[in-house]
Amino acid sequence: MSTPEKLEVWLRGPLPKVPALLQPVAHALLQAREEVNFLMQNFPDHLLWEKPAGVASAGFHLQHLSGVLDRLFTYANAKQLSAEQLKYLSLEGKNENITSAELVELFNKQIDKAIAQLIITNEDTLTETRLVGRSQVPSTVIGLLFHAAEHTQRHVGQLLVTVKIVKCFPLTNGQ
């Protein structure tokens, strides 16, 4: 869902300073940001936590988009999650009296942080093992970064459907 007047991000050429092997990750993340910003323009806050047919709310997807990027990039950076990150994870999907505009801004900042990390990522480290989560499941730096981009795109698609449904068929009880 690219905005009508622009080419998709990947067709605009390489991003300055982002290593060549990480260009697809950066392109996918920037495309996601553009689509979320376009989709969420003037989104009514009273619809943010509606769950049509029991699916995740738009609010959850916006919270999760920011949180999962933060967590996966933390693991790619060979770090474990902080208490603050774990608290954020526990609050995903919960109405914290936050607006859709604030959630979109949080996502935009997380994309900026992710791109900054991509810029300083040494391509020689991409096949290094990183341990993920409490179970310490092994992955690689490239695996984590690719999954961050793929997972982001997946939730943007889910957000798109949820937003379109709740705008056309708003619920009255938030279910």
Biggest CA-to-CA distance, the chain: 53
pLDDT of residue 153 exceeding 90, the answer is: yes
Name the residue among 88, 82, 44 with its Cα closest to residue 66.
88
What is the pTM assigned to this prediction? 0.91
160 sits in the region (left: phi over 0; alpha: psi -120 to 50; else beta) called alpha
175 within domain boundaries: no
119 within domain boundaries: yes
26 within domain boundaries: yes
| pLDDT per position as a tens digit, 88-129 | 999 888 887 899 999 999 999 999 999 999 999 999 999 999
173 within domain boundaries: no
Q: How far apart are CA 125 and CA 145, in angstroms?
A: 12
4 within domain boundaries: no
Count of domains observed in the chain:
1
73 within domain boundaries: yes
**Domain range for residue 43?**
9-168
Binned at pLDDT 50, 70 and 90, residue 175 comes out as: very low
| pLDDT per position as a tens digit, 55-77 | 999 999 999 999 999 999 999 99
State percent of the chain over pLDDT 70. 95
Average pLDDT in the chain = 93
30 within domain boundaries: yes
Strands in the chain per DSSP E: 129-132, 137-140
pLDDT of residue 3 exceeding 70, the answer is: no
133 within domain boundaries: yes
Query: CATH number, domain at 25?
Result: 1.20.120.450
pLDDT of residue 28 exceeding 70, the answer is: yes
Q: Where does 121-140 have alpha helices with state H?
A: none
